[in-house]
Structure 1
Amino acid sequence: MSSLLEKYVSRSEFGSYEDFKENFRIVIPDNFNFAYDVVDVYAREQPDKRALIWCDDNGDEKIFSFGDLARYSNRTANVLKRYGIRKGDSVMLMLKSRYEFWFFLLALHRIGAIAVPATHMLTKKDIVYRTERANIRMVVAAPDTGILDCVDDACKEVGDTLSTRIAIGLTRDGWVSFEKELEAASADFARPTGEEATSNDDILLNYFSSGTTGFPKMVQHNFTYPLAHIITARYWQNVTDGGLHYTVADSGWAKCVWGKIYGQWIAGSAVFVYDYDRFTAERMLENTVKYGVTTFCAPPTIYRFLIREDLSKYDLSCLDYCVTAGEPLNPEVYQKFLEITGLRLMEGFGQTETIVTLATYPWIEPKPGSMGKPSPEYSIELLNAEGKPCEAGEEGEIVIDTSFGKPPGIFTGYGADPERTRDVWHDGYYHTGDMAWKDEDGYFWFVGRADDIIKTSGYRVGPFEVESALIEHPAVLECAITGVPDPIRGQVIKATIVLTRDYTASEELKKELQDHVKRVTAPYKYPRVIEFVKELPKTISGKIRRVEIRDHDKGNA
C-alpha cells in the first residue's frame, strides 16, 4: 500500500461497500499541490519508482521514473516561465498522447498556471473560441501540421492574446522548439512562496465540455481535484502499488486525468500510455501483454472490439482487474468478456464536472448494464420532472446533493458563465442532465442524457435498452440509437448500425433486426429507421457521438 495514499485518506482498507461508503474520507491539507506533494515526494523517497511507460506504433518507447518526471517537469516549468507564463495564466495543451503532456501538466501545476487540455482535432473556430473564453496565453501542440496550421490561422484573428506557440518534435517558423528549450533549461525549480504560491481554491484545470446545444462549457477544477481521484483509481479501477494501469483516453479529454496521473500515482501505480494514430484491437492487446498491464479501463466500444478478436492468442494473465465507463455496458459484452478472460467488467459513471460518482466497487456484485452505487462523499439522488425524489423503478435525473457542502472533486463552476452554472446548480443540487432509475437493491441504471431521450407516440425511450437489444444480434458490431422528427409520432427511433464482417446490408436484414428488437424488448421500442454505416462518429476516447448523428439527420431533413 502506498504510504502517500495513507496520508490522504481517513482509512485505506474496508470490509464492505457499506463500510467504505460510511467511513471513507479524503484528507485535504492546506495548499495542496500535486506536483510538489506527490511527484516530488516520490522523487525524493523513491526516485527510481516507475511512473509512466509510453510507446507508439513506430516502435518508440520511453519509461519514466518519478525522479525523471520531477526533473523534466522542473525544466519545462523554467521554459514556461522564460516565455512569460505566470500564476493564473492559461496554457492550452494539444498533445494527443505524447509523453510531453505529463511534463507540461506538472510544470503548469508547479507555476500555478491553468492547464487547458484539448483534442488535436480542433478547428480554427474552436481555437479562437477557447482562446478568447479562457484568455489563453500559450498553445503547446504535437507535430501534426494540420493542427499547427489551425493554430496559426487562429493567431491572426486573436492578435496578441495568444502570445507564444510551442511545437513538439519539429522546427517551424513562429513556433518555439520545445526540445531545444528543454535541453538548455535548468532542472531546479523552487516551490513558489508568498503571492506566487498556490492555494486549494486556485484553478488547476479548465476543460471545454461540449453539450448537445450551444458553445462548449468551460469546466473548472481547483487544486484539490487530484486528491478526489483516489476514489476513481484505488477503489473503482482497483489499481495497486507497483502495478501498471492503462486507461484508453487521449490527453485532450478529462478521462485522461481520471486514469493516467492523479489517483493512480497517489496509490503507487504506474500508468501506461499507448500513443496510436488509429485504434486496432490487435495492437492494443499486443501492447497490453508486452508491457504487463495489470488494471485496464476503456469505454464499452473498445471492449466490443476486443471480444471480436481471437483472445486465445494473447496471454492476458497479467490483467487483474478491468473497468468501463463512458456509456452503459451491454450485458452481452459483459458475459462474453467474462467467459473469455474470467474477469468481471466493473462499471462506473461520472462527468467532466466530477470524479467517478457511481460505480460497481470491488465489494459489490456487478449487474451488467448498471452503473453501480454512489461513491463515498457523494450523496446521489434521482429527481422526477416535479423535482421530487423518485421511487424505485421510476426514471429521474441524477443529481448530487451539495446542500451540506461540496464533495471533493466536483467542479467549481463554468468559467466566465455564472448563468450556465446557476442553470445546473441550484436549490442545493448539481443537476447532471443524465437520466437513470434505481432498483430495489440500490443499483443505478443509466437511461440516457436528458437530450438523448426519445419521445415517440407518448412513450419515453432511452437509447441504451434498444442498443443492448440490437447488440445481441450477431450481425451488429456497433449501433447508436437516436430520435428523428416525425410529424405523427413526434419522433421515431432510428438505429445507426455497423455490421460484423459476415453480414451485408439489405432490406431483409433491416426487417430481421426490427423483428429481433420486438422480441427482446417492448415492441414500441423497435427502430422504424435503420441506417447501415461503416463506422460511428466517436470522440477520440471511443465514446459514441449521438449528437453528430442527430445533427446529420437534421441537415438532411
Structure 2
Amino acid sequence: MSWTVMPAFESYERARESFSWDLPDEYNPAVDFLRKHEDTSQTALRYETPEGGLETYSFDELDDRSDRLAAALADLGVGAGDRVGVVIPQKPGNPITHLANWKLGAVSVPLTVLFGRDALQYRLADSEAKAVVVDPSVRETVDEIREECPALEAVIELDDGDAVRGDAHSFEELIAAHEPGIDVYDATPETPTAIMYTSGSTGPPKGVRHSHALWLGRAAAAYNYFDGGLADGEATLWTPADWAWGAALGGTLFAAWHHGCSVVGWPRDEFDPDDVYDLLERHDVTEAFMPPTALRLLMGVDDPEDRYDLSIRTFASAGEPLTSEVVDWVGSTFDDVAINEFYGQTELNLVVGNAARWFDTRPGSMGKPLPGYEIAVVDPETGERLERGEVGELAVKPGDRRVFFDEYHGLPEKTANKRTEDVPASGASGESEEQRSSGRWFLTDDLVERDEDGYVWFHSRADDVILTSGYRVGPTEVEDAVLAHEAVEQAGVVGVPDETRGEAIKAFVKPAVDDYDPEGLRAEIRDLVRDRLAEYEYPKHIEFVERLPTTTTGKIRRRSLREGDGTDE
C-alpha cells in the first residue's frame, strides 16, 4: 500500500509526458497518513508547546488517539457526511481531529483561531457543522454564537477536564474514555473530505467541498515544490502558516505524512525572525513553507548561515507573488537552498510552481504547470485561447477531475460558473487525444501571462485590474516596484476614482522604518516606479499606514483598501 503519486522523474519534460494520476479504488487519508509506512513507530509530529515544552508523537500514537476520538465523536452522534469544525492552531489536536473525522466518514471544516465572532459564526452555520473541536482561546466566542448555529450539537475543548466549563466536552477526557480499534470508514477518492472556505478577498467566503483525492493532489505538488526532498521519508517540515490554510494543512502537514516525513508544530502569536531561525536549527528543519511576508521578515537577520547551524534545503512560498529581492536574498545568503514559488486555489489544488531541480526559478514568475495539469490563458470575455505573451484569465484542466473541488457548498450557480467546456486543449500535458478532448476546464479569475519559455506570470485578480487613462494596469506589478524601495515593508495597490483618468493608482504603504520623511519617501517611490515600469503606472496617491488589511492566509485584501476610508496624498 504505497499510494505514491509522484515518481522521481529526472526532467520536467519527462514528468509532463509520462505522469498520470493513478488514484486507488479505495482510499482513506487516515490510513494513508498513519498506517502505510514501513516503520509506524517513527516520529510524525514534534510539538513545541507555548510554554516551551516538547511533545513527540509517532504515527502509531496519532493512530491510537484519533481512533479514540473517532469513537467519542460517534458516541456524540457524528456519522458519515456530518461536518465537524476544527478551530485549533498548530497543536496535535488539529490533525488528530481531522483523522478522527475521516475514520468516521465525517467531513472536516478547517477554521483558524484568528477568526472573529462573525467570521466563525458564518462558517459554522453555513457548513451546518454538527460538532466543533476548539482551542480554549476561542471557546468563549463559540459560546456566544452557539444559538446562531442551529446544527451545532456538540462542542469539544482542548483542555483538561477541570478547565472545561458548561456543556462542552473535554478533548482529553473523551480520548481517555474510549478505546482504539474503530472500524475505519470504507472510503474512496470521491468520498467528501472537507469544506474549506475561500479567503473572501473578492466577496463573501464560499465553502469549497473537496473529496479525499484532494490530499493526493497536494502530496504530489509538495513533492515537486519541495524539490523531491520528501522522497526518502527523512525530511522535517515546518511552516509558520496556520494549519487551517490549505497550503499548510494539505501541502505541508499532510503531504509530509503521506511521504512518511515528520512535521514540527509550533503555535505562536507573533513571527520573530530570530526565534524562527532558532526553531529551524533546533529541529533540523529541511523543508519550510514560508509565505513571502515571512521570508521578508527573515531577511532582517544578518548572516543567518553563520549564526545558526541550519539544515534547510528548500523554501517553498505561496499566497502572493515573490519579489526578485526575496529570490536574490535566498541565493546570496544560503548555500544550496532552493526557493520555489507555487500557485493554487482553495478550489483547484496547487497547479503551477517552480522546481529548482528541473528548471531555473525566474523571480516574480509563478513557474510552470505542474505534472498532471494543463493550463491555458484565455480572453476573459470570449473564452478564446490567447497567444504567448498576452494577458488573460488562467484556465486549468486536471488530468483527473477528482483532485479539484466538487462544489461550492449550497451555491450551484457559482459552482457552474467556475467550470467551462469551451477551452481547446493544447496537448501539452502528456495526455492522450481522447483524454484531452474530455473533461472540464476550471476558471481562476486570475489574470496571467505565459511567456515563450512556458513560465506563468501573475498580473492580478480579474476584478483588481486598474483602468487608468485607457491603460490596463495590474496592481501586483506596481506593488513589486514599490516594494523594491528599501524603506517599504508592505504595499497594496488599488484604483481610485479620478475625474481625468477614470481611475488613478493609489498605493497603501507600510514603511519598514519608523523615522522617515513622508513627502520625500513619496517622491522616491514615484520615481522608482516610473523608472521600473511606465509613466502611467506610477502611484498618483500614496498613503502611509501602520498595517495593511490581509486575509487569514496573508494576502492583501484589496477590496478592503478600495472600500476603506483614507486620505489621498
Task: Please give the range of the TM-score, normalised by the shorter of the 2 chains.
Answer: over 0.9
CA change 1:65–1:24 in 2 (3 A) is same
The one-letter amino acid of 1:346's match is N
Deviates more, 1:101-110 or 1:280-289: 280-289
Aligned match for 1:136, one of 107, 122, 129: 129
Q: Cα RMSD (Å) of the superposition?
A: 2.1
Superposed, 1:416-455 pairs within 5 Å as 416-427=410-421, 428-455=440-467
The answer to whether the Cα contact below 8 Å between 2:542 and 2:568 also exists between their aligned partners in 1 is no
1:215-273 Cα shifts (integer Å, max 9, x gaps): 21110110222111232221212332111012332122212223333322222221222
Shift of 1:471: 1.7
- Provide the residue aligned with 2:389 in structure 1: 393
CA change 1:321–1:122 in 2 (3 A) is closer
1:370 counterpart = 2:365 = yes
- Provide the residue aligned with 1:480 in structure 2: 492
Aligned match for 1:296, one of 288, 295, 301: 288
1:30 counterpart = 2:25 = yes
Shift of 1:537: 2.4
**What's the secondary structure of 1:368's corresponding residue?**
coil
Shift of 1:467: 1.6
Aligned match for 2:139, one of 140, 144, 148: 148
- Provide the residue aligned with 2:175 in structure 1: 182
- Provide the residue aligned with 1:285 in structure 2: 277
Shift of 1:148: 2.2
1:460-493 Cα shifts (integer Å, max 9, x gaps): 1112211221222111122121222223322211
The answer to whether the Cα contact below 8 Å between 1:231 and 1:356 also exists between their aligned partners in 2 is no
Deviates more, 1:238-247 or 1:71-80: 238-247
1:162 counterpart = 2:158 = no
The answer to whether the Cα contact below 8 Å between 1:289 and 1:314 also exists between their aligned partners in 2 is no
Superposed, 1:309-328 pairs within 5 Å as 309-312=301-304, 314-315=307-308, 317-328=310-321
Shift of 1:14: 1.3
Superposed, 1:153-552 pairs within 5 Å as 153-159=144-150, 161-169=151-159, 170-192=163-185, 197-238=186-227, 239-240=229-230, 241-312=233-304, 314-315=307-308, 317-342=310-335, 343-361=337-355, 362-385=357-380, 386-401=382-397, 406-427=400-421, 428-501=440-513, 503-552=515-564
The one-letter amino acid of 1:227's match is L
CA change 1:307–1:114 in 2 (3 A) is same
Shift of 1:407: 3.9
The one-letter amino acid of 2:158's match is I
Q: TM-score, normalization: structure 2?
A: 0.90
Equivalent-residue separation in structure 1 for 2:171 and 2:526 (angstroms):
55
CA change 1:222–1:95 in 2 (3 A) is same
Equivalent-residue separation in structure 2 for 1:493 and 1:221 (angstroms):
38
The one-letter amino acid of 1:509's match is L
Shift of 1:122: 2.8
Deviates more, 1:429-438 or 1:491-500: 491-500
The one-letter amino acid of 2:484's match is E
1:68 counterpart = 2:61 = yes
The answer to whether the Cα contact below 8 Å between 1:286 and 1:314 also exists between their aligned partners in 2 is no
**What's the secondary structure of 1:451's corresponding residue?**
helix
1:111-168 Cα shifts (integer Å, max 9, x gaps): 0000001112334333343233222101111011xx3232222212334x21111111
1:192-228 Cα shifts (integer Å, max 9, x gaps): 4xxxx32332210101113344421110110222111
The answer to whether the Cα contact below 8 Å between 2:290 and 2:318 also exists between their aligned partners in 1 is yes
**What's the secondary structure of 2:505's corresponding residue?**
strand
The answer to whether the Cα contact below 8 Å between 2:252 and 2:289 also exists between their aligned partners in 1 is no
The one-letter amino acid of 2:16's match is K
1:84-128 Cα shifts (integer Å, max 9, x gaps): 111110011111222210110100010000000111233433334
Deviates more, 1:261-270 or 1:317-326: 261-270
Structure 2 gap segments, 5+ residues each? 422-439
The answer to whether the Cα contact below 8 Å between 1:301 and 1:543 also exists between their aligned partners in 2 is no
Shift of 1:505: 4.4
1:14 counterpart = 2:26 = no
**What's the secondary structure of 1:326's corresponding residue?**
coil
Shift of 1:512: 1.7
Equivalent-residue separation in structure 2 for 1:494 and 1:522 (angstroms):
15
Equivalent-residue separation in structure 1 for 2:348 and 2:383 (angstroms):
22
Shift of 1:538: 2.6
CA change 1:315–1:122 in 2 (3 A) is closer
The answer to whether the Cα contact below 8 Å between 2:445 and 2:461 also exists between their aligned partners in 1 is yes
CA change 1:423–1:137 in 2 (3 A) is same
1:270-311 Cα shifts (integer Å, max 9, x gaps): 122221011222211111111110011111111111111123
1:369-400 Cα shifts (integer Å, max 9, x gaps): 11111111111100013221111211010001
Shift of 1:83: 1.0
Deviates more, 1:278-287 or 1:541-550: 541-550
**What's the secondary structure of 2:472's corresponding residue?**
strand
Aligned length: 541
The answer to whether the Cα contact below 8 Å between 1:232 and 1:258 also exists between their aligned partners in 2 is no
1:509-529 Cα shifts (integer Å, max 9, x gaps): 211211121112111111111
The one-letter amino acid of 2:149's match is V
Identity of aligned residues (%): 32
